[in-house]
């Protein structure tokens, strides 16, 4: 689960991290009183959407010459006029895709006098099986580019879960970021604070880009992106409160109600698969044959007919889906249950696109029989390769 920048900063502030004063608003009428609560004379009007790259983003409605989604202004009147211009419009950034995201909320923040912009994040480093800091002096820009072009400028510092962040870890970070006092000592303290927040709140990503050194030599968290581990949300009701479903894909919300592992993608072949590994392989092979998956979907091991029906409905409701591939290797999941779910869903919502079904494993004959006798217009496939070729051909031919 993701949250907005202003919410992430509130969480970090509770732990004692240095963040600027700011006020979130949803209506331009609130802009003036929000700005009056800040020290000034520089203010920043920041779009709150669940995507990065806002500063360099463009508003669809405002044309190419308009300013981006993060605006530094020097008066309260400008806070108000920019808030009016930004709210309700659609911001397109590197991370939103071409459709962009509607800006329904702004964060009015105290403007910082920036001396340096740094990069700092915490994530789970799977190669060492530990939570690790990633630090770079190249902050403010997109870290993937830094990683690709100047990998030597990225420092990874894994943390021993037995000790947590030690002074030595903190000093290594401060050194990697080339910090002098007072920023150096502040960095050691901040590393401990961030690690505590990350582990206590079961975050899966905490990214600060940029972490800044101010003109006066102190450090400040200027941007914050936080994702939480969905599997641990049950123990954080305070975090669940922060969920903003208007930022989430409707299909993903529906899928989460049915406990389906579903992620919307931007291709045109809907996939219903059991098992995450097989789902990944299915997506790969669709790509191999020249098309793109519209989703990742793992219906899970012991899915019920109702769950399969729900999954199929989510796929067919997606207007981008031009064909559907059902690829089931029945182990714990039985092929007849999948077949019944598919038939039930088609009876309910109809089928307007080609459907290729590949069933293998437990109760495969019964599954095939259910589909054959249903009268559905289904293309049967023998194996994964055959299935992928058939669905790609059907979609391309259409
Ligand atoms: P995004 O990463 O989505 O573009 P950021 O919050 O990182 O959004 O803001 C982009 C840039 O805007 C920052 O790198 C920084 O240069 C500037 N900026 C953001 N917040 C402030 C602030 N409070 N004061 C001064 N400049 C800011
Ligand atoms: Mg940023």
Of 78, 110, 142, the last residue of a domain is 110
Residue 14 lies in a domain: no
- Is residue 125 domain-shared with residue 102, that is, in the same domain? no
The residue to mutate among 7, 39, 70, having the most atoms of ligand 1 within 8 angstroms of its beta carbon, is 70
Task: Tell me if 332 is assigned to a ligand binding site.
Answer: yes
User: Nearest C-alpha to atom 9 of ligand 1 is from which residue?
Assistant: 55
The residue to mutate among 55, 93, 220, having the most atoms of ligand 1 within 8 angstroms of its beta carbon, is 55
- Is residue 126 domain-shared with residue 105, that is, in the same domain? no
Of 239, 269, 287, the last residue of a domain is 239
Secondary structure of the chain: what % helix, strand, coil (to 5)?
40, 25, 35
CA 293 – ligand 2 centroid, Å: 30
CA 72 – ligand 1 centroid, Å: 8
Of 239, 271, 288, the last residue of a domain is 239
- Is residue 174 domain-shared with residue 96, that is, in the same domain? no
Task: Tell me if 117 is assigned to a ligand binding site.
Answer: yes
Compute the C-alpha angle 68/74/79, nearest 5°: 60
Q: What is the pLDDT of residues 72-125, one digit of tens each?
A: 999 999 999 999 999 999 999 999 988 899 999 999 999 999 999 999 999 999
Task: Tell me if 223 is assigned to a ligand binding site.
Answer: yes
Q: What is the pLDDT of residues 114-157, one digit of tens each?
A: 999 999 999 999 999 999 999 999 998 788 899 999 999 999 99
The residue to mutate among 45, 223, 226, having the most atoms of ligand 1 within 8 angstroms of its beta carbon, is 223
Q: Which of 138, 186, 207, 340 is catalytic?
A: 207
User: Nearest C-alpha to atom 13 of ligand 1 is from which residue?
Assistant: 140
- Is residue 217 domain-shared with residue 303, that is, in the same domain? no
Give yes or no for residue 325 having a pLDDT over 90: yes
Q: What is the pLDDT of residues 229-244, one digit of tens each?
A: 999 999 999 999 999 9
Mean pLDDT, residues 294-321 taken together: 88
User: Could you tell me where the DSSP H helices lie in 61-166?
Assistant: 76-86, 143-149
- Is residue 300 domain-shared with residue 189, that is, in the same domain? no
Mean pLDDT, residues 59-64 taken together: 93
CA 55 – ligand 1 centroid, Å: 6
Residues in Cβ contact with 288 at an 8 Å cutoff, skipping those fewer than 6 apart: 388
DSSP assignment of 335-378 equals HHHHHHHHHHHHHHH---S-EEEEEEETTHHHHHHHHHHTT--E
Token pair, residue 242, equals 């922060």
- Is residue 92 domain-shared with residue 122, that is, in the same domain? no
Confirm if 107 and 24 have CB atoms less than 8 A apart. yes
Which range, 9-18, 247-256, 262-271, 361-370, has the best average confidence (pLDDT)?
9-18
- Is residue 262 domain-shared with residue 382, that is, in the same domain? yes
CA 150 – ligand 2 centroid, Å: 19
pLDDT, residue 331, reads 83
pLDDT, residue 348, reads 86
CA 71 – ligand 1 centroid, Å: 8
Q: What is the pLDDT of residues 22-58, one digit of tens each?
A: 999 999 999 999 999 999 899 999 999 999 999 999 9
pLDDT, residue 398, reads 60
Ligand closest to Cα of 208 equals: 2
CATH of the domain at 265: 3.40.50.261
- Is residue 139 domain-shared with residue 194, that is, in the same domain? yes
Confirm if 68 and 58 have CB atoms less than 8 A apart. yes
Residue 11 lies in a domain: no
DSSP assignment letter at 50? S
Helix, coil or strand: residue 230? helix
pLDDT, residue 35, reads 97
Residue 172 lies in a domain: yes
User: Nearest C-alpha to atom 10 of ligand 1 is from which residue?
Assistant: 55
Structural domain count of the chain: 3
Active site residue 207: yes
Residue 2 lies in a domain: no
Query: What residues make up the domain containing 146?
Result: 114-239
Residue 51 lies in a domain: yes
* Ligand 1 pocket, Cβ-based, cut-off 6 angstroms: 20, 44, 46, 52-55, 70, 72, 109, 111-112, 114, 117, 140, 209-210, 222-223
User: Nearest C-alpha to atom 15 of ligand 1 is from which residue?
Assistant: 140
Residue 8 lies in a domain: no
Helix, coil or strand: residue 301? coil
Confirm if 211 and 140 have CB atoms less than 8 A apart. no
- Is residue 85 domain-shared with residue 218, that is, in the same domain? no
Q: How many residues can be counted in the chain?
A: 398
Task: Residue 90: count other Cβ atoms within 10 Å of its Cβ.
Answer: 17
Residue 314 lies in a domain: yes
- Is residue 309 domain-shared with residue 371, that is, in the same domain? yes
């Amino acid at each position: 689960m993701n949250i907005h920048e202003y919410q992430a900063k509130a969480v970090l502030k509770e732990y004692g991290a240095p963040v600027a004063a700011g006020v979130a608003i949803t209506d331009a009428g609130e802009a003036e009183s929000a700005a009056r609560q800040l020290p000034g004379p520089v203010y920043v009007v920041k779009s709150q959407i669940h995507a990065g790259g806002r500063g360099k983003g463009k508003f669809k409605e405002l044309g190419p010459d308009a300013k981006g989604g993060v605006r530094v202004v020097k008066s309260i009147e400008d806070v108000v006029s920019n808030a009016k211009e930004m709210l309700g419009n659609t911001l397109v950034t590197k991370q939103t895709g071409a459709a962009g995201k509607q800006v329904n909320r702004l964060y009015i923040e105290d403007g910082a006098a920036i001396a340096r912009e740094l990069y700092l994040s915490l994530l789970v480093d799977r190669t060492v099986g530990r939570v690790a800091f990633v630090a770079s002096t190249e902050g403010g820009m997109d870290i993937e580019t830094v990683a690709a072009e100047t990998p030597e400028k990225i420092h990874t510092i894994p943390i021993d879960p037995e000790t947590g962040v030690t002074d030595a870890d903190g000093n290594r970070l401060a050194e990697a970021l080339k910090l002098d006092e007072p920023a150096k000592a502040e960095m050691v303290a901040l590393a401990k604070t961030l690690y505590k927040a990350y582990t206590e709140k079961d975050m899966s990503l905490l990214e600060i880009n940029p972490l800044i050194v101010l003109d006066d030599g102190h450090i400040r968290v200027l941007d914050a992106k936080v994702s939480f581990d969905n599997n641990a949300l049950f123990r954080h009701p305070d975090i669940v409160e922060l969920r903003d479903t208007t930022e989430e894909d409707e299909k993903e919300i529906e899928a989460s109600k049915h406990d389906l592992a579903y992620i919307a993608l931007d291709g045109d072949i809907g996939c219903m698969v059991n098992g995450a590994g097989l789902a990944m392989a299915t997506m790969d092979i669709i790509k191999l044959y020249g098309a793109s998956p519209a989703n990742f979907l793992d219906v899970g091991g012991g899915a019920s007919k109702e769950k399969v029906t729900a999954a199929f409905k989510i796929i067919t409701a997606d207007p981008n889906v031009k064909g559907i591939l059902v690829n089931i290797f029945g182990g714990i999941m039985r092929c007849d249950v999948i077949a019944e779910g598919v038939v039930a869903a088609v009876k309910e919502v109809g089928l307007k696109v080609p459907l290729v079904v590949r069933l293998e494993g437990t109760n495969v004959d019964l599954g095939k029989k259910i589909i054959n006798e249903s009268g559905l217009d289904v293309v049967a496939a023998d194996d994964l390769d055959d299935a992928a070729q058939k669905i790609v051909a059907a979609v391309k031919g259409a």
